Structure 1
Amino acid sequence: MPPYPTGSWMPVALSADLPAGTVMPAQSPAGPVALWRSRSGRAAAFADRCPHRGMRLSHGFVRGETLSCIYHGWGYAQAGNCLRIPAHPALTPPDTIRVATQPVEDGGGIIWISVGEPAAGPPRFEGLAPLRSMMVEADIAALEAVAGTKADGDLLDYAGNAPTIRLLLAPQGQARTLVHVLVAEGSSQAERIAASRAAEALRRAAEDIAHGGIAR
């Protein structure tokens, strides 16, 4: 993944893909994260490694307002400090036992992560609503080649055989791109289906280019 400037925002997931009480893996500019939402609905991002034995916290489970490791059940508050060690229930864990956290903003249907303290909030896309996310095994250059236009920052317009959709791009490495598909607010079910099919066609064509084939 290319470096993002300190304080910049990266779109890592759609809000709808992280219901209350769930955890999922994600990739941030600082590395793998466990993205989770407490039972009350607050999103948080932890480094995806339990300080105890190194187990991935994205394999863990949410209990109330804490995320617990699936291995030995150590529980962490949203600030990253350890609250509970099941093998020692009477122990108050020292504050030195904690998980690295990253700033998270959840708005407009998109979850954003920042490395370092951001100077301002993430962008908002008036008149647009997220439809779906998809991982494309191709870089942004391949996506631009299929779309026939250059990305404007993180946004790429694509028409295909449907009304123009906007693609919010998040590079995941040398040849992978996480794409969040945005459509106009109030789009009909038929328009949403057409936009999803157009996005799939774009994905296939970009992957053909990336793998040395011919775009379909």
Structure 2
Amino acid sequence: MNSRTVTLTIDGRSITAPAGATIWEAARSAGIDIPTLCHDPKLEPVAVCRVCVVDVENARTLPAACIRQVEEGMAVRTDTDRVRRARRTLVELLESGQPHADERRKPAEQDELARLGVQLQSDPSRFAATRSTPPVQPDLSSPVIAVDLNACILCDRCIRACDDVQVNDVIGRSGKGCSTRIAFDNGLPLGESSCVSCGECVAACPTGALTDKRLVDAAANGSDA
């Protein structure tokens, strides 16, 4: 086991972290919040959402904290104007493609993207006309899980939850470019796929792309599932 540590500063605080740890992990251990949408502590980081960008002294660009490893003497700022602008723009772009509020299956208070938009005071209307693909009909073929790809931000959390955590290997990516989508068994409706309805993907999803039909329907009816 590697017991070597490095010392860095995050937002002016001196922090000691294990060598090989990421900036996100070091910040989290010190109680410093760095928002993210594609990362979860249970999953390997992939840095596809870029919401966790931070300002590293003398760095040319804003690195993703979930994959950038700590270095001795590194100076990190998590809440500069440059960082806030970058995060807000990224979140606005993601929000601009989301279904209208009355079409979403997940309440705003449970939607990580919606909560982050409120926190960052985002204005997705700036990019409202940029959607490049027509909306698709929700897949309600599963008795347990509802799929709304219009709410998917391609964070890959469901893929990693299904493949790496549960090792079911049902979910993957399909298509290229703006036509890229998550798919089940290479394009089957979820209810016809080999999904075992374990719910790991639903728990991992940060938006309303994957929801538990029973909980959503119960909430709509004002009752418990």
Q: TM-score, normalised by structure 1?
A: 0.28
More helix by share: 2
Q: TM-score, normalised by structure 2?
A: 0.27
